[in-house]
Every structure is written in C-alpha cells, then in structure tokens.
C-alpha cells in the first residue's frame, strides 16, 4: 500500500510533527474512536473529554489520526443531538451504536457496517498516547489475506489500537446473535496478524488507557 509523508509545523509551539497520509486511493482505510462506554469507573464522566496538557483526550487522539481522510466517532444512544452536532463540527463522522450495551463490539460492528472504507484503525477514547509509529507498523501488514492486524506482547493481545476489516461483519453478526461480545473470540475466529511488540520500538505506554479517577489523577500528576 502506498502513502505519502506530510508534516504539520506549529511555530508558536515550536514543534514539527511528521505523519503518514493514509488518504491515497490504495489505502482505503479510515479511523474510529470508540466513545460509547458506560464510564462507570469514572463516576460517569466521559473519558474522551478528560483533559491532559490543556486539551481533551478526544482532541489529542484526533490530532494523531490526522493522516486519515475520515475519522469516525462511535457513540451510544444516550448522547443528545446537541452533543452529536458538537462532535461533527470537530470534523468527526458520528456513528451511533446499533446495539446497546454490548461493549466495544457494538461500536466496532456499527462502524464497519457504516464506514466508507474497507479497513478501520480502531482505538478507544481513553488511549491518549496512540501515535504514528503504532499506526504505521500496523498498516504495513494490511493485505487482503488478513482481517485483523494487532499487537501482542508475552501472549497478551491488544484489541484496541488495531486494524479491522469490513470482512469481519459476518463474524460480528454471528457473535452478537450468540451474545458473545468478547473481542478475543472475534480475533480467534478471524484471519489475524499479530505484531510482537518485542520486535519493534513501540513503547507499552501507547496502550495505556485511563479507566479510573485514580489513574487519571496519576496521569495529571505525571504530566504537570
């Protein structure tokens, strides 16, 4: 698959970021941010709207996904029309879950069912450290013989921060019908390609997700 390199320069902030542009005709890949969870361990606060270094997790993740032509946002049915319009104004394409309360599988299914692209890079709204090295590594393994590309380390797989194909829709429908909502089951039933983190320079930090108030407070303390 072909891509070009683009650079974003912010002279005021004194940085230069390099991204791969995944918008070429040969890529056919979009990005999805899952933000439809219950947030029960965060006392109901929407994790994607938590802030680090002055911007929300959602804004930070969107910035790191700027090489994709379409960035989708998965929401549950509890979000108001006003909230949905706000996210659309951010340049996100909102997809509301077809099925309620079945976890990440519901958001993944709804997005693959409705997205324009053949593949989606999928991450969660509580993973603000997703970066281009991770994405570029995954994309290098995308081909017609693989339905899921993901990282693993010491026999642990990382289903978030991974690439999924539309070819999984039938598997997803079967699992949802059988009320089996585990992503591990989906991956085991699929043609998957695991990338061993030990063979890359990818840091464990990119997969850090913030689930609790305690984890968020620790994150803020470490980034002041």
pLDDT in tens, 66-122: 989 899 999 999 999 999 999 999 999 999 999 988 999 999 999 999 999 999 999
Instruction: Estimate to the nearest angstrom the gap between the alpha carbon of 93 and the chain centroid.
Output: 14
Taking all residues of the chain, what is their mean pLDDT, rounded to a whole number?
86
Is the Cβ–Cβ distance between 124 and 105 less than 8 Å? no
Is the Cβ–Cβ distance between 136 and 68 less than 8 Å? no
Distance CA 171, CA 128 (A): 29
Q: Which of 134, 131, 142, 150 is nearest to 200 (CA)?
A: 134
Residue 34: give the domain boundaries: 4-222
**Residue with the larger pLDDT of the pair 205 and 139:** 139
Q: Which of 144, 143, 142, 178 is nearest to 162 (CA)?
A: 142
Positive or negative: CA dihedral 75, 167, 150, 155: positive
Query: What total of structural domains would you count in the chain?
Result: 1
Residue with tokens 């039933």, as numbered in its chain: 189
Tokens matching residue 19:
């991204």
156 Cβ partners below 8 Å, 6+ apart? none
Q: Which residues of 157-171 are buried (b: 16+ CB within 10 A; e: fewer)?
A: bbbbbbbbbbbbeeb
Q: What is the pLDDT of residues 57-68, one digit of tens each?
A: 999 999 999 989
Question: For the residues 139-157, what does the mean pLDDT come to?
Answer: 94
> How big is the chain, counted in residues?
224
pLDDT bin (cut points 50, 70, 90) of residue 223 is low
Q: Which of 158, 114, 172, 163 is nearest to 143 (CA)?
A: 163
Pairing outcome for strands 119-124 and 156-165: antiparallel
pLDDT bin (cut points 50, 70, 90) of residue 22 is low
pLDDT bin (cut points 50, 70, 90) of residue 212 is confident
SS3 of residue 140 by DSSP: coil
SS3 of residue 150 by DSSP: strand
CATH code where residue 104 lies:
3.90.550.10
Question: Degrees (nearest 5) of the Cα angle 212, 41, 95?
Answer: 100
Tokens matching residue 86:
């706000």
Q: Which of 212, 221, 224, 218 is nearest to 47 (CA)?
A: 212
Q: In the chain, how long is the greatest CA-to-CA distance?
A: 53
94 Cβ partners below 8 Å, 6+ apart? 72, 73, 75, 84, 87, 88
Question: For the residues 152-159, what does the mean pLDDT come to?
Answer: 93
Q: Is the pLDDT of residue 19 over 60?
A: no
């Amino acid at each position: 698959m072909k891509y070009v390199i683009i650079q974003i320069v912010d002279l005021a902030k004194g940085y230069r970021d390099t991204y791969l542009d995944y918008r070429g005709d040969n890529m056919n890949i979009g990005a999805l941010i899952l933000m439809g969870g219950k947030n029960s361990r965060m006392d109901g606060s929407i994790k994607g709207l938590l802030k680090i270094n002055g911007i929300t997790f959602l804004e930070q993740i969107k910035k790191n996904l700027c090489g994709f032509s379409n960035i989708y946002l998965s929401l549950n049915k509890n979000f108001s029309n006003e909230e949905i319009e706000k996210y659309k104004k951010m340049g996100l394409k909102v997809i509301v879950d077809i099925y309620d309360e079945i976890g990440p599988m519901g958001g993944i299914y709804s997005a693959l069912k409705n997205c324009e692209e053949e593949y989606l890079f999928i991450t969660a709204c509580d993973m603000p450290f997703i970066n281009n090295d991770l994405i570029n590594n995954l994309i290098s393994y995308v081909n017609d013989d693989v339905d899921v590309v993901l990282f693993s380390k010491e026999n642990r797989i990382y289903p978030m921060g991974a690439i999924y194909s539309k070819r999984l829709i039938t598997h997803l429908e079967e699992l949802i019908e059988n009320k089996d909502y585990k992503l591990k089951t989906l991956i085991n039933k699929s043609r998957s390609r695991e990338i061993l983190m030990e063979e890359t320079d990818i840091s464990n930090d990119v997969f850090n997700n913030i689930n609790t108030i305690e984890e968020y407070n620790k994150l803020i303390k470490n980034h002041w």
